[in-house]
Chains A and B, each alone.
Chain A
Amino acid sequence: AQSVTQLDSQVPVFEEAPVELRCNYSSSVSVYLFWYVQYPNQGLQLLLKYLSGSTLVKGINGFEAEFNKSQTSFHLRKPSVHISDTAEYFCAVTLSGGYQKVTFGTGTKLQVIP
């Protein structure tokens, strides 16, 4: 079965500074990877996803992530954060093919400090 680990439960960062949110997955077969964001009192919305092709994936709001198969990682990055990026970010993984459930990490709370 697949699993995903987000080691950092909280990441404080100053406004306009860069940020990296870490995500590592575990699977012996091909996977699809996702990053979702949850703003306070809202559901989750997709930031970006990796299915195949280029390992660098660009998403909404200036976020990008890089799929690294050898390190089984899919870290999320943004070169300059804004106050409005304060939210909880979830990494997710699913196996390719068939009725494969999406497994989410425990989330990383990004707090942007003015």
Chain B
Amino acid sequence: EAGVTQSPTHLIKTRGQQVTLRCSPISGHTSVYWYQQALGLGLQFLLWYDEGEERNRGNFPPRFSGRQFPNYSSELNVNALELEDSALYLCASSLEKVSGNTIYFGEGSWLTVV
């Protein structure tokens, strides 16, 4: 069974540009989470989608947005990129809502903003 898959794996963008990261959850999982892992800052919660709806949002500016499609895959969009957006963006999925359910992570998308 395929795990959580993310694309692209690496990308370089210029400050001010926009980026879209994609995530496919494990088959049967309806919840998708996005985390930002910047150097030395651990994992910062970005967004949580379940059944197509945004269920929770972390403390990030509105230029971070996303959506979940009917097949439960998800996109994370970041507009007006800033240098500090350089990080590993991790997508994770779980069955239904999280409490107690294990969340399974993809290997991430490395974003470098220059």
In the assembly, what is the distance between CA of A110 and CA of B28, in Å? 34
Q: Out of A41, A94, A99, A107, which one reaches B42, CB within 8 Å?
A: A107
User: A32–B99 contact, CB under 8 A?
Assistant: yes
A contacts with B, residue count (CB < 8 A): 26
Q: Bits for A89-108, please: 1 = Cβ < 8 Å to B, else 0.
A: 01000111111111111110
B103 an interface residue at 8 Å Cβ cutoff? yes
List the B side residues contacting A42 at CB < 8 Å. Answer: 107
Instruction: Type the 1/0 row for B47-62, where 1 means its CB is closer than 8 Å to any CB of A.
Output: 0101000011010000
- Chain B nearest Cβ from A69, distance in angstroms: 17
> Are A98 and B99 CB-contacts (below 8 A) given A43-B108, A103-B45?
yes
Name A44's contact: one of B41, B99, B105 (CB within 8 Å): B105
Selected A-B contacts with CB under 8 Å, 20 pairs: A43-B92, A43-B105, A43-B106, A43-B108, A45-B104, A46-B102, A46-B104, A49-B100, A51-B100, A90-B43, A94-B99, A94-B100, A97-B99, A98-B97, A100-B97, A100-B99, A104-B42, A104-B45, A105-B42, A106-B40
Top 9 A-B residue pairs of the complex, sorted by shortest distance between their CB atoms: A106-B42, A43-B105, A104-B43, A99-B55, A44-B105, A43-B107, A101-B56, A51-B100, A46-B102
